[in-house]
Amino acid sequence: MSRVRARDLGLIRGGIPGRDNAITDVPGVEVGYRTLIEDRGPVAVRTGVTAILPRGRAGAADPVAAGVHSLNGNGEMTGSVWIAESGSLGSPVLITNTHSVGAAHEGAIRWMLDAVPGAADQWLLPVVAETWDGRLNDINGLHVRPEHAVGALEAARSGPVDEGAVGGGTGMICYGFKGGSGTASRRVALGDAEYTVGVFLQANFGEMSELTVQGVQVGPVLKAEASAAAGPSAAAAPVPPPQGAGSVIVVVATDAPLLPGQCTAMARRVSLGLARTGTAGSHFSGDIFLAFSTANAGALASRFPAEEEAVVLDDLRAVPWGRMDALYTAVVEATEEAVLNVLVAGEDMVGHKQSVPGLPIERVRELLAGRAG
């Protein structure tokens, strides 16, 4: 995937990113992919699985404080009800296509039984989220299998994260252009301490005319030009699902010590970052967000107590609510940048039912220079 990113092209300004400008800038967080791109006669496979380990493989048994928020519920994130109840996330996070949630869920359980000591002694509620790739991928072919989820988890690493058509984002479309996987991060100073906020998203949302970059509505111009280039033949093509359909899953990570309710507040701020890129939140788009804090290791566990075992109280530290604003800003900025990183990484793709172009980056830069809109 391309390593030229939105910030390199001047599409993002401000904020202080972490070393790799990725969710993996949060210490301990690891990301892995399993990408499936195959042509089988008339069938085009363009899909995969993304895995996020909040504390890496070594800390997979240690829960993190977490919160969830649904901007629009036309989608799925398994395990979210328990996160909302307990404020705790004790499993990997996987993202795939809509019809492969079951396969990824089974793969996550198989991996945890093998990789996490004692996992078989407790119940397992893996978090698996989805976005719909049925235009570019043969989604009904059920090509993702449990072993692909295991492969994504085994591939999880810290450091730079590939973007674009990789993992669960392989067959996705964003604002009418090639979508996919993207990430960004921000460093945040709070008193004498510095923390990192990282965002990872699987972008499959937005109607082309909505696209906004640096506050400039470039989408209407790009849509008019695309329609003119397509000519009258476009009217005879099969009617596709409405643009804007598809969904976006966003995962926010931080090493700032937060309470579960504060994680939920962080997840809500994702909506503002997405809005900066233009979306109004389509009815056909499942926009579901998860935020977690890797601080307070050892707290928020939910284990079967042994008979006569002493009760030991959890001990949590947290950023004061009145000091949360800088963290909120980091979520908004990193979410906006992650979306633009997806679009910049996107390349033309021939798919199962249609093809989709990559974002015409130089045209966008021209429109920004002329302050179009």
From the candidates 62, 133, 138, 287, give the one annotated as an active-site residue. 287
Average pLDDT value for residue range 303-310: 85
**Res. 372: pLDDT tops 60:** no
3-state secondary structure 225-262: HHHHHHHHHHHHCCCCCCCECCCEEEEEEECCCCCHHH
Is residue 310 in a domain?
Answer: no
From the candidates 88, 185, 282, 285, give the one annotated as an active-site residue. 285
For residue 95, give the nearest of 24, 161, 22, 169 by alpha carbon: 169
**Res. 236: pLDDT tops 80:** no
Kindly report, residue by residue over 27-56, the tens digit of the pLDDT: 999 999 999 999 999 999 999 999 999 999
Query: Helices (H), strands (E): how many in the chain?
Result: 7, 16
Count of the separate structural domains present in the chain: 1
pLDDT for 230 equals 82
Share of the chain above pLDDT 90, in %: 88
Kindly report, residue by residue over 318-357, the tens digit of the pLDDT: 999 999 999 999 999 999 999 999 999 999 999 999 999 9
Active site residue 247: yes
Is residue 309 in a domain?
Answer: no
Both structure tokens of 85: 């109840």
Average pLDDT value for residue range 67-92: 97
Kindly report, residue by residue over 130-140, the tens digit of the pLDDT: 999 999 999 99
Active site residue 88: no
Both structure tokens of 11: 């599409």
pLDDT for 207 equals 95
For the entire predicted model, the pTM comes to: 0.96
- Distance, in Å, from the CA atom of 147 to the CA atom of 127, rounded to the nearest integer, reads 17
- Distance, in Å, from the CA atom of 184 to the CA atom of 198, rounded to the nearest integer, reads 6
**324 backbone φψ class: left, alpha, beta (φ>0; ψ -120 to 50):** alpha
Question: Across the beta sheet with 43-53, what order do the strands follow?
Answer: 30-40, 43-53, 93-97, 127-131
Phi, psi dihedrals of residue 22, rounded to the nearest 5°: -150, 165
Average pLDDT value for residue range 161-180: 98
**pLDDT band (50, 70, 90) for residue 309:** confident
Question: What is the rounded average pLDDT for all residues in the chain?
Answer: 94
Is residue 3 in a domain?
Answer: no
Is residue 145 in a domain?
Answer: yes
Active site residue 287: yes
Share of the chain above pLDDT 70, in %: 96
pLDDT for 333 equals 98
| 109 compared with 235, residue with greater pLDDT | 109
**Res. 373: pLDDT tops 60:** no
| 371 compared with 48, residue with greater pLDDT | 48
**pLDDT band (50, 70, 90) for residue 1:** very low
Is residue 9 in a domain?
Answer: no
Residue 332: strand, helix, or coil: helix
Kindly report, residue by residue over 3-13, the tens digit of the pLDDT: 799 999 999 99
pLDDT for 235 equals 52
Whether the Cβ atoms of residue 136 and residue 349 lie closer than 8 Å to each other:
yes
Is residue 14 in a domain?
Answer: no
Residue 100 belongs to domain spanning: 23-231+241-302+322-369
Is residue 314 in a domain?
Answer: no
The sign of the torsion formed by the CA atoms of 242, 339, 269, 86 equals positive
pLDDT for 350 equals 96
Residue 366: CB partners within 8 Å, gap ≥ 6?
none
Average pLDDT value for residue range 221-236: 81
Is residue 316 in a domain?
Answer: no
Average pLDDT value for residue range 162-190: 98
Whether the Cβ atoms of residue 57 and residue 81 lie closer than 8 Å to each other:
no
From the candidates 80, 247, 271, 282, give the one annotated as an active-site residue. 247
Per DSSP, helices labelled H in the chain are: 80-86, 101-115, 146-154, 219-230, 260-276, 325-345, 361-369
How many C-alpha atoms does 144 have within 13 Å on its Cβ side? 38
Instruction: Say which CATH number the domain at 252 has.
Output: 3.60.70.12
Whether the Cβ atoms of residue 207 and residue 346 lie closer than 8 Å to each other:
no
- Distance, in Å, from the CA atom of 233 to the CA atom of 163, rounded to the nearest integer, reads 33
User: Residue 359 carries which DSSP code?
Assistant: P
